[in-house]
Amino acid sequence: MKQNKKGFTLIEMSIVLIVVSLILAGVLKTVSVQRQQLKRDETRQALQIINQALVGFAATEGRLPCPDTDADGESNPTALAFGNTCTSEEGFLPFVDLGVPSEDAWGNRYRYRVTSNAGTNFADNPDPGPPLLSSFAMADDGNITVRDGANNLVVNNIPALVISYAENGSQTIANLPCGAGVPSVNEEKNCDNEAGVNPVFMADDYLTDFDDLVTWVSPTVLKNRMIEAGLLGN
């Protein structure tokens, strides 16, 4: 008796390939999302460590570090007859001074902004002592404000802030201060090097046009640590 052997038709093979492709695409997308989430979690943990390092630096030096303006990892103060003042209020994080990682999980440098102006100096130190005292007073407030994507106030009067530009960070950093290559209007708020009395930054949940991760130094925590270190009076 003759056996009938039937193979796959081209249509059937095409259907199988389409189904397999869809399954693989879904798996790869899931893996990609998981990897990005792991990187975001890793960077959030690093930002917590950086936050603690900034407070620790202030409790030791009597001030916050100046930003790194020449990308060598060290802060850039301008020497005075006594002490120093910052050459800029904004730059890269001075990771050498702080002893923390230089880059986020995507391999991009952290951005750092500090309150430093004629009225409220948290990084300038025109008279370091001895004895070592804080460069700011209990009554001084920071001048940095953070808002969310809907322009709601998140926090204000903060002394310092650190930003990871996350997945698209290389594109943003390559266009500092903000240029045509910045991914979105929302992210422009975090890279425009805004001068003036009240610079505004953005912190929000992950959005389609915003993936920055932001941490800031709490003025209450900072001042409490300075009091504990005997550098700041009540």
Q: Are the C-beta atoms of 195 and 28 separated by less than 8 Å?
A: no
HSE on the CB side for 182, CA within 13 Å?
Answer: 18
| β-bridge partners, 200 | 145
Instruction: Determine, yes or no, domain membership for 7.
Output: no
Instruction: Determine, yes or no, domain membership for 110.
Output: yes
- Residue indicated by tokens 């322009």: 151
Instruction: Determine, yes or no, domain membership for 2.
Output: no
Instruction: Determine, yes or no, domain membership for 8.
Output: no
pLDDT tens string 15-70: 777 877 777 776 666 656 678 889 999 999 999 999 999 999 999 989 999 999 99
Mean of the per-residue pLDDT values for the chain? Answer: 84
Instruction: Determine, yes or no, domain membership for 104.
Output: yes
Query: In the prediction, which pLDDT does 82 show?
Result: 62
Threshold 0.85, pTM exceeds: no
Q: What percent of the chain has pLDDT over 90?
A: 44
* Residue 225 to residue 58: CA distance in whole angstroms: 8
Instruction: Determine, yes or no, domain membership for 181.
Output: yes
CA distances from 33 to 168, 171, 213 (A): 15, 20, 17
Instruction: Determine, yes or no, domain membership for 189.
Output: yes
Report the side by side order of strands in the sheet with 153-158. Answer: 153-158, 144-147, 200-202
Print the domain residue range for 29. Answer: 16-228
Instruction: Determine, yes or no, domain membership for 5.
Output: no
| Tokens found for residue 199 | 């610079």
Number of structural domains found in the chain = 1
User: pLDDT below 70 — which residues of the chain?
Assistant: 1-8, 26-33, 80-83, 118-119, 126, 195-197, 208, 233-234
Instruction: Residue count of the chain, please give it.
Output: 234
* Residue 177 to residue 62: CA distance in whole angstroms: 30
